[in-house]
Chain A
Amino acid sequence: MYAFDIERPTTLADAVKLLAASDENQALGGGQTLIPTLKQRLAMPEVLVSLTAIDEIKGISEDDEGRLCIGAATTHAEVAAGAGKYPALAALAGNIGDPAVRNRGTIGGSLANNDPSACYPAAALGSGAIIVTNTREIAADDYFEGMFATVLDEGEIITEVKFPVPEKAAYMKFEQPASRFALVGAFVAKYADGVRVAVTGASEEGVFRWSEAEAALGSNFSPDAIERLSLSGDGMISDLHGSGEYRAHLVGVMTKRAVAAAG
């Protein structure tokens, strides 16, 4: 690792100030992605601004519209234990990595990083969540911009994520056994006004909504409804773990399993 300083502000306002002080300053969430990145010298911050001592961006609550609001610095383990109002989300969080990763990694870090194989992006997009930052509220549909890319500005901090709670939902992840990330993961959620299907791990563009499946499931919420749908392997990630065609096939399989699991 290159040398850098660490600051641990206890208020959001101080964190925003520290990040604004220089382009070379970077937020530190749970460090479960950033620390390995720093070890490989793929990042060279001057100051890491730790968000883990800021109580105002931690914890789980419910707002007036019944949405589940999760502070950005809430760990995966805390979501697994505390998001009982949205069981599919709690289950997703409880299946990220391993227990030690879940005790440090945060929802804000995962969404800021937007790894194309990460789990939370599928939940946020599949739920039509709102990503709240220190400056604005961003609809999940407008937030993700491809692999490892989001609309976040330099120094912008995710503070909270608001999840509308669906009638039913499930996430099914086909694990890449070495990394435990999703080789393909499908998040399916049924709301009063329609069904959302978000797929992670598959596309070179990162997480995406599978609109044909959403339409088919909207009129018939059962695995049979999407039996005949298929996706092309073009534009799907192809690597030593699986070809684009294989991933495209898995999208159908995992989506069907998610629909079945949602019940």
Chain B
Amino acid sequence: MPQVNMTVNGKPASGDVEGRTLLVEFLRETLDLTGTHVGCDTSQCGACVVHVDGKAVKACTMFAAEADGAEVLTIEGVAAPDGTLDPVQEAFHQHHGLQCGFCTPGMVMSAKALLAENPTPTEAEVRDYLEGNICRCTGYHNIVKAIMAASGQDVSKIAAE
């Protein structure tokens, strides 16, 4: 089996993979990074979103072999090493942006990709960007609110609490 080498959350990571090994399988099963979730495995739900070379991708729809040499960021690498939450994580916490939490790793990774591209998105832009992230619990309002808050905008008038 060929070996892949990549940087995951700032640290070198390598392992043997089959051609068909998905990036999400490599992360969860080889590296034991189970924060990245598999909701659908059919490219629809976004629970598996991670960043590869700074871009949000569905880790269930990319082969591990294709991430050879890449920089991968997963939800485990988002908070500071001392445990201080990233502003997006903190905002999800403050604004009740999750219920069961299953979609949350993907939501946070998508939100971080959005804010990197567009630091002060409108509510419509946030909703549009989350097109590929499905949440079965929250009804999205507080997720949108959390992301707007993480961008430093006043969210007192946005959506429902």
Question: Which residues in A have some Cβ–Cβ distance to B below 8 Å?
Answer: 1-6, 8, 28, 31-32, 35-36, 38-39, 47-48, 50, 52, 77, 97-101, 103-104, 180
Kindly state the separation between the CA atoms of A65 and B133 in the bound complex, as whole angstroms: 41
Shortest Cβ distance from residue B112 to the other chain A in the assembled complex, whole angstroms = 12
Contact between chains at A3 and B20 (CB < 8 Å): yes
Q: Which residues of B are found within 8 Å of A28, using beta-carbon distances?
A: 63
Q: Which residues of B are found within 8 Å of A101, using beta-carbon distances?
A: 43, 58, 61, 132
Kindly state the separation between the CA atoms of A28 and B20 in the bound complex, as whole angstroms: 12
Q: Which residues of A are found within 8 Å of B18, using beta-carbon distances?
A: 3
Given A36-B43, A100-B56: A8 and B19 interface contact (C-beta under 8 Å): no
Kindly state the separation between the CA atoms of A47 and B19 in the bound complex, as whole angstroms: 8
Contact between chains at B62 and A35 (CB < 8 Å): yes
B33 touches A (CB below 8 Å) = no
Contact between chains at B20 and A4 (CB < 8 Å): yes
Contact between chains at B43 and A6 (CB < 8 Å): no
Given A6-B65, A35-B43, A39-B42: A103 and B57 interface contact (C-beta under 8 Å): yes
Contact between chains at A6 and B57 (CB < 8 Å): no
B97 touches A (CB below 8 Å) = no
Interface of B is mostly: mixed
How many A-B pairs have beta carbons closer than 8 Å: the answer is 76
B49 touches A (CB below 8 Å) = yes
Smallest Cβ-Cβ distance to B131: which chain A residue: A98
Contact between chains at A39 and B57 (CB < 8 Å): no
Given A36-B43, A99-B131: A77 and B19 interface contact (C-beta under 8 Å): no
Q: Which residues of B are found within 8 Å of A2, using beta-carbon distances?
A: 20
Q: Which residues of A are found within 8 Å of B20, using beta-carbon distances?
A: 1-4, 38
Contact between chains at A98 and B19 (CB < 8 Å): no
Give the most central of A28, A99, A103: most B CB within 10 Å: A99
Q: Which residues of A are found within 8 Å of B114, using beta-carbon distances?
A: 99
Give the most central of B61, B113, B132, B133: most A CB within 10 Å: B61
Kindly state the separation between the CA atoms of A39 and B131 in the bound complex, as whole angstroms: 23
Within 8 A of A (CB), among B60-77: 61-63, 65-66, 68
Shortest Cβ distance from residue A8 to the other chain B in the assembled complex, whole angstroms = 7
